[in-house]
Structure 1
């Protein structure tokens, strides 16, 4: 296992892989790796000759400076976890100056409206930051396949849209949400939750499961009202938004249409810790 911090060293290694006609899998992360990340890396190892994992807390996708400051950084632990996997992995863990130079700023993107839904309404500039760093990393790693978790489903769709619009030669693969025993979607932010808060946060997935059960028989208006009331009764969590949206366009569902795929999305706060989750409805 190699740990690289400079993009020139990474590009040199990638060039050697390309020369030998080896396929490259890529898993971009912000570190604080958990079982969900490891499942992405395992899938990459199973389908590609070589795998690159980036560990970089990207400053341009944080709209809240306090969230950026508190985001867990556990590089030594991350390296140890990856080292226990079978297969050759290159870790790319650069400083911000290596990715952005002297000016840390985002490129402006249009994602055909995907960026204005849900997360985009509450996190100003977030997806410009995501697009900027993912594009930079794709250009450095030149992966054949890139693996993203469906927990950040809106991000997954936006990365796919960027690849399409920028005509990048990479296959973006969405991987199922990995969950803790109580159903809570695995997230690096979970490490900031107290044991009690972590248990209480399982309520998010319980609500989503109930939404899936009711989706076939109740209207979106009825379901939205029920979700709102359930969160009002829960003193441990504060609902930021709940949406039932078209999987492809991410537009809020007005009336259910045949042959359309829908997904329910939730963002909620446990204290000052923001949690998101989603579930396919049909």
Structure 2
């Protein structure tokens, strides 16, 4: 499979601007894709934020089964982290997230008063890879649409502060991504979930890997019932070829795009691409 690599100029600029603003921030909201929590984590974030409090947000919880959500809660708690699950489009989980941010603000202002300083709104930053739902989450926290949001990468291009309430200010930052995608298995997951620009990958190759992932995670019945082709006696690449020839008049590219779109829109149902690693 061709190497997936994507680091456009606006991402480089966004990363530089974000680093310049981080010293003004009190708390970090890191937004991950609930379908791929590990693959959608930027490995440099812990180093950038240092000792600042971090709230872990797993967005698109509506796109994974409940039993998988429970497994991730246990896994993160075993790693001394509390995950907040949200569906930013519908507003699910946003109140708990707002309360957690506000609580950190109270603690921050207590320390300020102890040092003889006046209280101020807590300054939070929302960071994460492109298209994981950061802008939709900010709009939900605000209670109105103030930042552009769409199912595509690169919608947010400028970094800016947005006042949520008298107690919280949010820094809306464009999506960031590692300059070198060393873990290619994770890079393919980002491509499948549309968390990376589509110029970076080949649809047919990525769709084939999606089929392989679904078989590996025991979700092959979805493919069998939806497309009436059994994936167990062929590779993902062969499955895409067969789907194209049997259902799309030999148009394998169209079959690939359709399969990816069905997954991305949730038409396959609640399907994760990652499960918590076993010990």
Structure 2-normalised TM-score?
A: 0.38
Q: Which has the greater radius of gyration?
A: 2
**Structure with the largest fraction of strand:** 1
Higher RCO (C-alpha 8 Å, min separation 6): 2
